[in-house]
C-alpha cells in the first residue's frame, strides 16, 4: 500500500483521473452485463473510450470538490456554524460527506449526465431525480466511510464506490 499512497501523494490529479477512468468505466461495463445477463458493452467501443475520458475528467472534478468541501467544513467549524462533534473522527467524516453530497453532488451528477449526453448523442436529463436519490441512500453513507480514511485513500475508495453502485444498479434492473 505504500506504493499506492506514494503515487497518490506525488500525482494527486493524475491518480484521481486514472482511478476514475478505470473503475468508472468498469462499473458501466459490469452494470451493462448485469442488465442483460450476459457479456455486453454499454455502448460502442468508441463511445466507451470517450466515456473513460469523461470519467477521468469527473475524477478531477471530484478531487477538487473533495478538497474544497473539506475546507468548507473546516471554515464552518472555525466560525462555530457546525456542532463541535463535527470536528473530528466519524463526526467530521459525516459532516464532510453530507455537505459534499448536498452542495456538490447534484451539480456533479448533472455535469456527468451532460458528458454522457454528449458522448451518446442524447438529450435531456430523464432519470436524474433517481440518480440524485443515490446521494441520500448510497453516497452519504459511502462517503462517510471514505472521509474516515486517510486522505491518500479517499479518491481511490470513491472511485471504487462508483463500481459498487454500478453493480447495485445493474442488479436492480429487470
Nearby residues of 100 by Cβ (< 8 Å), 6 or more positions away: 65, 66, 69, 143
* CA 10/CA 154 separation, integer angstroms: 15
Query: What are the residue boundaries of the structural domains of the chain, listed by start?
Result: 2-172
At 167, is the pLDDT very low, low, confident or very high (cuts 50, 70, 90)?
Answer: confident
pLDDT in tens, 123-159: 999 989 999 999 999 999 999 999 999 999 999 999 9
Give the pLDDT of residue 16: 98
pLDDT in tens, 60-106: 999 999 999 999 999 999 999 999 999 999 999 999 999 999 999 99
Give the pLDDT of residue 174: 60
* CA 72/CA 8 separation, integer angstroms: 22
Amino acid at each position: 500500500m505504500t506504493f499506492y499512497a506514494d503515487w497518490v501523494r506525488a500525482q494527486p490529479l493524475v491518480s484521481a483521473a486514472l482511478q476514475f477512468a478505470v473503475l468508472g468505466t468498469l462499473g458501466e461495463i459490469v452494470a451493462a452485463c448485469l442488465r442483460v445477463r450476459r457479456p455486453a458493452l454499454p455502448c460502442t467501443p468508441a463511445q466507451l473510450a470517450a466515456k473513460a475520458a469523461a470519467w477521468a475528467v469527473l475524477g478531477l472534478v471530484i478531487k477538487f470538490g473533495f478538497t474544497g468541501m473539506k475546507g468548507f467544513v473546516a471554515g464552518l467549524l472555525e466560525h462555530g456554524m457546525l456542532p463541535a462533534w463535527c470536528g473530528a473522527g466519524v463526526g467530521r467524516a459525516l459532516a464532510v460527506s453530507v455537505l459534499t453530497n448536498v452542495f456538490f453532488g447534484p451539480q456533479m451528477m448533472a455535469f456527468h449526465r451532460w458528458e454522457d449526453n454528449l458522448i451518446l448523442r442524447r438529450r435531456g436529463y430523464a432519470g436524474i431525480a433517481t440518480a440524485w436519490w443515490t446521494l441520500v441512500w448510497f453516497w452519504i453513507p459511502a462517503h462517510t466511510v471514505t472521509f474516515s480514511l486517510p486522505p491518500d485513500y479517499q479518491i481511490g475508495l470513491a472511485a471504487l464506490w462508483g463500481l459498487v453502485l454500478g453493480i447495485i444498479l445493474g442488479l436492480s434492473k429487470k
